[in-house]
Amino acid sequence: MKKNAFERRRVLGLMAAPLAISLAAMLSGCAGGPSPARDREALLLRAKEFWKSVQDNDPVTSWKYEELSKKPGWTLQAYLKREGIVYDAVEVQDVLSLEGDKALVNVKVTFSVPLLRMNSQQVVLKDEWVRIDGVWYHADRKSLL
């Protein structure tokens, strides 16, 4: 009788070890998965990189952050023709809202439009972003300002 009890404990012990390892792996996978804080961090990083390239007048780099770069029918050449605003200063402030794959980021911008002789205009934009395949992109917009 003691032999059967010993065998049962041994079998249960052998079964429990892989279950414990699987459970630990699942829990650690959850800890490394998406979270609101990580989403915000990733979004702010992308927004800062995008706006730095815009301020540096580097549209080839900023194109990589644009939702338009993922849309059929849009090309880098067409994107380059949309310019006309000079960004004198840009400060990505914070994430205003983040719901699913859409977000708004507050961005303080000082800009000029030389063609219209508008200089040093200042505005805080509610800048739209969308997540595509897990990556944040600057949302397609009709007019930024």
**Does the pLDDT at position 133 exceed 90?**
yes
| pLDDT of 32 | 47
Instruction: Please tell me whether residues 42 and 100 are part of one structural domain.
Output: yes
What's the first-to-final CA gap in the chain, in angstroms?
83
| pLDDT of 81 | 77
Tens of pLDDT, residues 18-65: 434 443 434 334 444 557 889 999 999 999 999 999 999 899 999 999
Total domains, the chain: 2
Tens of pLDDT, residues 54-93: 999 899 999 999 999 998 888 888 888 777 788 999 999 9
CB contact set of 90 (below 8 Å; sequence gap of 6+): 51, 52, 54, 55, 107, 108, 109, 110
> Angle at the Cα of 128 (from 109 to 68), degrees rounded to 5?
105
**What range defines the domain where residue 85 resides?**
36-138
Residue 144 maps to a domain: no
Residue 143 maps to a domain: no
Residue 121 maps to a domain: yes
Instruction: Please tell me whether residues 15 and 59 are part of one structural domain.
Output: no
